[in-house]
Structure 1
């Protein structure tokens, strides 16, 4: 029987704070079925609360959204479930450590959420697994960018901003795949923070300048000649 995780669209429920939320799950990339878009399903009561909430005092609004986070969520979110154990080279692999690291990095990068990385709304439970609730970026992947594609010079100018934003927080981005890039309103944002890590302050600038940024630029330069084939490394 086909794994239910690969079945789209489907209804999912996730628990975030005191809120149990129903959403319609749709794939972002079928190669990664544990990461998907969820369009929230709201009943009449939820719509009434959303309309009524702005009339409350600011402090009370904040309390409601903390206790019942569904009212702090946009209509669509990204759910990133902890990937189940899998076998690689004959060994069982767990992604729990990477999941915990990604959650910690989002918290550390709170001030640049929404500009350099997605917004992190919290950890939920979905279909029996720990799940990160993230903002859906209204942009394009490099594979789907509209013509004309970014030139090498344009890409170089844009990739530096998010890398330096992480550097400002003492962090490096070491998973330098082009598939981890989104183009949003003319700027580059980074997704998938599993391999973001801290580095000694005296090493940060050199690593970002000589490793991370050149690595992304090299990959993009190699990608452009085959861009019409649709593959992004």
Structure 2
């Protein structure tokens, strides 16, 4: 892993996912986290395969039929338990993948290329769907005030509750709104299985944060108008 690279800088990555070794470039998304946007070279053979074979091959060889962009999330050695917890949460919420949480394509190994590492042992990683969307804290005020946003949040939390999961980290940056208006939870490291499952408190916390953000945006706008 390259610990000193900056956000948006491209780095080389070698990923082992099932039977496929992927050598490609990746862009770090967060400066303080091991999360990357990974470019996946497309399989040239897939374009020539008969249509009836593709679904069968995708089932048995998913590593050769991946999207051109995926999220690579490497395990932080200081938070190994949270990483393992996130994997198990994705497995438990398999029915929600692609609807209110990203699809987890599978577990992988990210080979270390930095000279600062003594060990060549690959770092555990997961490959996730690259949801095309905007974090809630970056939405314009018009969308923050849109009642459909709260309905989507409520729907996502209802799905979590029905599956016995508490999300565990109700921060706006942990949720995206995609281009179709759906809300995705993108960080499941702190999810857990309490005896009495309820997400009501977390949902209300998110609603409060949205209102605080709206007030802050509008207040900043009024301040700028006065300054003029």
TM-score normalized with structure 1 length: 0.79
What is the RMSD computed on CA atoms of the aligned residues? Answer: 2.3
CA distance in 2, matches of 1:5, 1:83: 15
Give the direction of change, closer, same or farther, for the CA distance of 1:54–1:133 in structure 2 (3 Å limit). Answer: farther
CA distance in 2, matches of 1:50, 1:156: 41
Deviations 1:96-117 (A, max 9, x none): 1111110001011111101110
Q: Which residue of 1 aligns with 2:204?
A: 214
For residues 68-83 of structure 1, the aligned pairs below 5 Å read 69-83=62-76
Are 2:191 and 1:190 equivalent residues in the alignment? no
Which SS does the other structure have where 1:192 is aligned? coil
Which SS does the other structure have where 2:95 is aligned? helix
Q: Which residue of 2 aligns with 1:143?
A: 137
CA distance in 1, matches of 2:204, 2:166: 13
CA distance in 2, matches of 1:213, 1:98: 22
Which SS does the other structure have where 2:199 is aligned? helix
**Segments of 4+ in structure 1 off by > 6 A?**
none
Q: Which residue of 2 aligns with 1:225?
A: 215
Q: How far apart are residue 147 of structure 1 and its match?
A: 5.7
Q: How far apart are residue 144 of structure 1 and its match?
A: 3.2
Give the direction of change, closer, same or farther, for the CA distance of 1:143–1:59 in structure 2 (3 Å limit). Answer: closer
Q: Which residue of 1 aligns with 2:225?
A: none
For residues 78-117 of structure 1, the aligned pairs below 5 Å read 78-84=71-77, 94-117=78-101
CA distance in 1, matches of 2:48, 2:159: 37
Which SS does the other structure have where 1:155 is aligned? helix
Q: Which residue of 1 aligns with 2:37?
A: 37
Contact 1:152 / 1:220 at 8 angstroms: preserved in 2? Answer: no
Q: Which residue of 2 aligns with 1:124?
A: 108
Q: How far apart are residue 11 of structure 1 and its match?
A: 1.9
CA distance in 2, matches of 1:30, 1:222: 26
Q: How far apart are residue 208 of structure 1 and its match?
A: 1.8
Give the direction of change, closer, same or farther, for the CA distance of 1:125–1:222 in structure 2 (3 Å limit). Answer: same
Contact 1:173 / 1:195 at 8 angstroms: preserved in 2? Answer: yes
Give the direction of change, closer, same or farther, for the CA distance of 1:208–1:152 in structure 2 (3 Å limit). Answer: farther
Structure 1: gaps (5+ residues) = 85-93
Contact 2:136 / 2:177 at 8 angstroms: preserved in 1? Answer: yes
